[in-house]
């Protein structure tokens, strides 16, 4: 294999090893590997060719979802409605307590 595996004894090992996506130039196989950022070439699991290249993959921060009315789940919309209703009720109670209504 054309890479040296990362071990816990490695000087730059910090416990976090990213997953990279590779594509084989020979057979077209796309695969992911858990490896260091220095690894540029990885052997293809289908044909064992070293003619692979690392692909640029879109990054998505963990636990983050797009924001906006169209992507919110029904549950989050329900929670927002209930929170707004609770705020309106609390405001009307404060006004009644002050003698405003």
Q: What is the pLDDT along the chain (101 residues), one digit of tens a residue?
A: 444 444 445 445 556 677 888 999 999 999 988 888 777 778 899 999 999 988 887 766 666 656 665 666 677 778 888 999 999 999 998 888 888 65
Question: Is position 46 within any domain?
Answer: yes
**What is the pTM for the complete model shown?**
0.43
Residue among 4, 46, 11 at smallest CA distance from 22: 46
Question: Which two tokens mark 59?
Answer: 């990054």
Q: Which residue has the tokens 């890479």?
A: 3
- Total domains in the chain come to 1
Residue 14 and residue 25: Cα distance in Å, rounded? Answer: 32
Boundaries of domain holding 32 = 24-55
| Beta-strand pair 52-55/19-24 | antiparallel
End-to-end Cα distance, the chain: 79
Residue 48 lies in a domain: yes
The answer to whether position 19 is within a domain reads: no
The pLDDT of residue 46 is 93
């Amino acid at each position: 294999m054309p890479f040296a595996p990362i071990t816990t004894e490695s000087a730059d090992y910090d416990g976090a090893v990213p997953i990279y996506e590779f594509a084989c130039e020979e057979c077209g196989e796309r695969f992911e590997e858990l490896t260091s950022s220095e690894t540029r070439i990885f052997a293809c699991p289908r044909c064992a060719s070293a003619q692979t290249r690392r692909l640029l993959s879109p990054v998505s921060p963990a636990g983050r979802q797009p924001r906006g009315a169209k992507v919110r789940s029904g549950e989050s919309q329900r929670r927002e409605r209930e929170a707004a209703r609770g705020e309106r009720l609390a405001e009307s109670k404060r006004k009644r307590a002050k003698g405003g209504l």
